[in-house]
Structure 1
Amino acid sequence: MEETRTFADFGIHADIVAALEAHKITHPFPIQAMTLPVALDGHDIIGQAKTGTGKTLGFGIPILQRVTSPTDEGFATLEGAGKPQALAVAPTRELAVQVAQDLTRAAAGRGIRILTVYGGRAYEPQIDALNAGIEVVVGTPGRLIDLAEKGHLSLAHCRIAVLDEADEMLDLGFLPDVEKLLNMTPAGRQTMLFSATMPGAVVALARSYMTQPTHIRAISEDDSGQTVAAVEQFVFRAHAMDKVEMLARIMQARGRGLSIVFTRTKRTAAKVADELADRGFAAAAIHGDLGQGAREQALRAFRNGKVDILVATDVAARGIDVEAVTHVVNFQCPEDEKTYLHRIGRTGRAGATGVAVTFVDWDDLHRWVQINKALDLGIPDPEETYSSSPHLFSQLDIPEGTTGSLPRSSRTRAGLGAEHVEDIEGKPAGRPQGGQGGRGQRKTGNRPASGGANKGEGAPRAAKPRTERTTTTDGKVRRRRRRGGAANSGKTAAES
């Protein structure tokens, strides 16, 4: 970090500097200090830095500096006033939300309108905001394209385009969508591309859509490897049946703050979160099977400290930027070195230190060997470890005598239930999310009264006793009609 220089020394708008100072952000990190002079002049940039080193403000400040605010002189005569002047594309909903939050915080005094768009939310509020006027739009490729193709989002006046975590968008198959979005923007725009790694397809994308970009690599002198030096890494060969017990003890280490536990599967994430909750921990799960409302509820509870353990699949590794995450645990060995980097990058962020623990099953040893070799970690053969192993307690500073359950005196957090579930789909008030619960209960409740007569598959079973008591065809038809009506739905064959 360049302690001798502040953001004010870069000629940044006074309102932006004041907004950052209000959050005690005054000195730029290396990627920011290297990026700002080039980006503020409008040049294209390829920014490469490790996750957690401050890339968002590296492109966010130039966006807010160069965008014309409704409070700026000349906005009324600006061509395309009220249409997005800047576009930031992110691979996941969580990352899009985080980027928009960082931009909103820095733009507090500028009057710049920032909109986040992504799937899983109702279209109407996003469309209304676009119609009212937006200067900066941040979103995921799918929803951005949907809004653009339906005529609600115009990128014709977008002077700045940013691709955040470009390597992840490539991995998730978003490259065609990204190219489609860039083709909707003016040819003379400023393009900034940020990525932790730089695979060939990302370089090809840069060559096709950028003009003489400046390639900026921010690597500190004391950080020679690919992982952030501030993260202390531990790797244990663990038995599948003992993992939760080990995890419960690690979660009681001295100095542990907010923690993220990563799993490879959605089912494991849900199971581990439930088991931790049964042991007294304030834990919540986030994975792809959860609705957007439940995912955001878990993230808010985590950010607000109502839960201090988030159990997540890798979808959460791309976009969770929460301060004070002290521990990351790989409950299941990552698939490859890139996944490993993104997971452990959730701690040790912005100058802080952190602890990363990885459990390696016997079946995953070959996978870990490849990760260790690719990152040159020097841990080719993890030590066999159990929940009772002395070295587990000593290396992770776990108090002696710690068991697999959190003492009742330590159960002080409010828990997931204390965080409300936002109605993000625009459902009427009072209806369960998704609208299924209430209707399903009513339908189930009507079945005994109707005897299935309103359903074709239930009619033969209910019709048999009535046919035996009916002497004419006309009587049978009339009885069916009476039983189908509201007034006669409770009438039985014996009453007629």
Structure 2
Amino acid sequence: MSFETLGLSEKVLSAVTAAGYTQPTPIQAGAIPPVLERRDVLGLAQTGTGKTASFVLPMLTLLEKGRARARMPRTLILEPTRELAAQVEENFTRYGVNHKLNLALLIGGVSFEEQNRKLARGVDVLIATPGRLLDHSERGKLLLQGIEILVIDEADRMLDMGFIPDIERICKLLPPSRQTLFFSATMPKEIQHLVDKFLSNPARVEVAPPSSTAENVAQALVASSDDPKDKRATLRRLIEESEELTNAIIFCNRKRDVGVVARSLERHGLNAGALHGDMDQRSRMQMLEGFRKNTLTYLVASDVAARGLDIPAVSHVFNFDVPHSPEDYVHRIGRTGRAGRTGTTKMIVTPADKRAVDNIEKLIGKEIPWEGDAVSEEDSGASRGGRRRSSGGRRGKDTAETTDKPEEAKPSSRRRKSSKPAPAETEVEVATEQQGPVTQAPVSQAPAPAAPAQAAAPAKGRNSQRGGRGRSREKEPVFGESEFVPAFLLRPVRPSPAPAADNIADDDGDDAETASGDALVD
């Protein structure tokens, strides 16, 4: 079968021939005719089988008739990542060289103003990620009532990234008479629910069983310990021992490990770069472009590079970490062995990854051979038990160290905070002497006064709350919150002399008035 028999236009056939393609892939041969018939299509195929051209080529043929209007695109393609969206734009540019179509790419990391200018001129093909598309729609800069064809690419990846609610919101903004195309490599139950909800009598094109791996990709498992240094040493050994290795993608589960592994390879003289979701868009595109042009030999990446990236000549794929989801393994190893080429993939497995490997083998329906010694269940249990014993040993070591030291040498932090010493009697005397001769009270006149009751009462309460654990401070004089005692509190109180009996009338005002009254009468 050739492309001429699929019903494509002359302009599209000319561009395909100029690109060097003569025979369509099975997914292309099965999906292009129903798309040209304006039917909904559900395409399921392995990665690297040409799913992107399965909707790009017929869309170019259908878009030859009609004209775009301002802010009302004619077709919409939803992609889960920026890299996939940019790759689809490159496909439209390559195969639409004979067409005069306006393209717009709505992804994050790019200015809104530049994207708004393209939408205002009118767009035939709109390629977007769900988040940025909804941003433009909510700002009133984009109208989706004129969409004729909706393409949801990598639908299972949309599910993994949490885009399903956004897709449902977007579909409600589209006209019901549209044509919908779904393409994916795996088919979870949640995706089947979307298919039943948004597709009407779709043509199901299933080239290979979902979640299967290509036979032209050699797979192997390599055992390693849980130590990250040992895993990096194992990775370098695999790179050195691999035959016919021209370039490779190395996948890690975490973004932090992507940078660590890339720097480790660079320190050992390997031409490596990093790619993950926290990088800015320009750096990500530059890293991918360098890997495509072979100026970068090893690309250490997260799962942002696991879906749909079309880099045909990748010879090896190394899984530094076993993926958490078995479907991610299918997509990762699909970066090699594309378009009928052969490829090699190896995955580093630690004792803790044994269960994840079993889930992957259950999904793909076959057992992955081991290169060298395999990780057994006993090793997995010993590894987990060893980690528990080592942590327990550390706790025992800490306990031994604390028992060797006397209690007085290491008071607890709580007691240390509350053990502020109260001012001693000698300190009070020194503070009193520093007041000078004006506030100095002669010791011979009266004994030192006792501490005020109202000041001692709250201090006693504080002792019972803070430092009362096995330590009594009732005998220590406490004069308020600070060690400074005002001098007037230390001055003795002079007792008043007892009044004499003869002076009672003089001290009493009433008696004095009576006496003076009697005198006047006399």
Q: Does 1:261 align with 2:257?
A: no
Q: Distance in 1 between matches of 2:145 and 2:210?
A: 43
Q: In the TM superposition, what is the alpha-carbon distance from 1:224 to its structure 2 partner?
A: 10
For structure 1, which runs of at least 5 residues remain unmatched after alignment?
387-496
Aligned residues: 372
Q: Distance in 2 between matches of 1:11 and 1:302?
A: 35
Q: Does 1:88 align with 2:74?
A: no
Q: Does 1:38 align with 2:26?
A: no
Q: Does 1:47 align with 2:32?
A: no
Q: Distance in 2 between matches of 1:12 and 1:125?
A: 33
Residue 370 and residue 225 in structure 1: after superposition, are their counterparts in 2 closer, same or farther (change >3 A)? closer
Q: Distance in 1 between matches of 2:211 and 2:281?
A: 36
Correspondences of 1:5-84 after superposition (within 5 Å): 5-68=1-64, 75=66, 78=67, 80=69, 83-84=72-73
- 1:166 counterpart (155, 159, 164): 155
1:218 maps to 207
Higher relative contact order (CA 8 A, sep 6+): 1
Q: In the TM superposition, what is the alpha-carbon distance from 1:377 to its structure 2 partner?
A: 2.6
Computed over aligned residues only, the root mean square deviation of the Cα atoms, in angstroms, reads: 2.0
Q: Distance in 1 between matches of 2:293 and 2:285?
A: 12
- 1:248 counterpart (212, 236, 239): 236
Q: Does 1:206 align with 2:195?
A: yes
Q: In the TM superposition, what is the alpha-carbon distance from 1:81 to its structure 2 partner?
A: 6.7
Residue 225 and residue 116 in structure 1: after superposition, are their counterparts in 2 closer, same or farther (change >3 A)? closer
- 2:319 counterpart (314, 330, 333): 330
Q: Distance in 2 between matches of 1:57 and 1:92?
A: 18
Q: In the TM superposition, what is the alpha-carbon distance from 1:381 to its structure 2 partner?
A: 6.7
1:358 maps to 347
Q: Distance in 2 between matches of 1:254 and 1:46?
A: 39
Structure (1 or 2) with the larger CA radius of gyration: 2
Is the contact made by 2:185 and 2:211 (CA closer than 8 Å) also made in structure 1?
A: no
2:338 maps to 349
Q: TM-score, normalised by structure 1?
A: 0.72
Q: In the TM superposition, what is the alpha-carbon distance from 1:383 to its structure 2 partner?
A: 3.8
Is the contact made by 2:78 and 2:152 (CA closer than 8 Å) also made in structure 1?
A: yes
1:302 maps to 291
- The percent identity for this pair of structures is 38
Structure with more helix by fraction: 2
Q: Distance in 1 between matches of 2:369 and 2:352?
A: 15
For structure 2, which runs of at least 5 residues remain unmatched after alignment?
376-522
Is the contact made by 2:69 and 2:123 (CA closer than 8 Å) also made in structure 1?
A: no
1:196 maps to 185
Amino acid at match of 2:230: D
- 1:371 counterpart (360, 364, 368): 360
Is the contact made by 2:46 and 2:210 (CA closer than 8 Å) also made in structure 1?
A: no
2:301 maps to 312
Amino acid at match of 1:235: L
Q: Distance in 2 between matches of 1:11 and 1:216?
A: 17
Q: Distance in 2 between matches of 1:267 and 1:329?
A: 17
2:516 maps to none
Is the contact made by 1:117 and 1:138 (CA closer than 8 Å) also made in structure 2?
A: yes
Q: Distance in 2 between matches of 1:57 and 1:105?
A: 11
Q: Distance in 1 between matches of 2:336 and 2:137?
A: 36
1:233 maps to 219
1:461 maps to none
Q: Distance in 1 between matches of 2:210 and 2:158?
A: 26
SS at match of 1:243: helix
Q: Distance in 1 between matches of 2:191 and 2:26?
A: 22
Q: Distance in 2 between matches of 1:385 and 1:199?
A: 30
Q: In the TM superposition, what is the alpha-carbon distance from 1:282 to its structure 2 partner?
A: 1.2
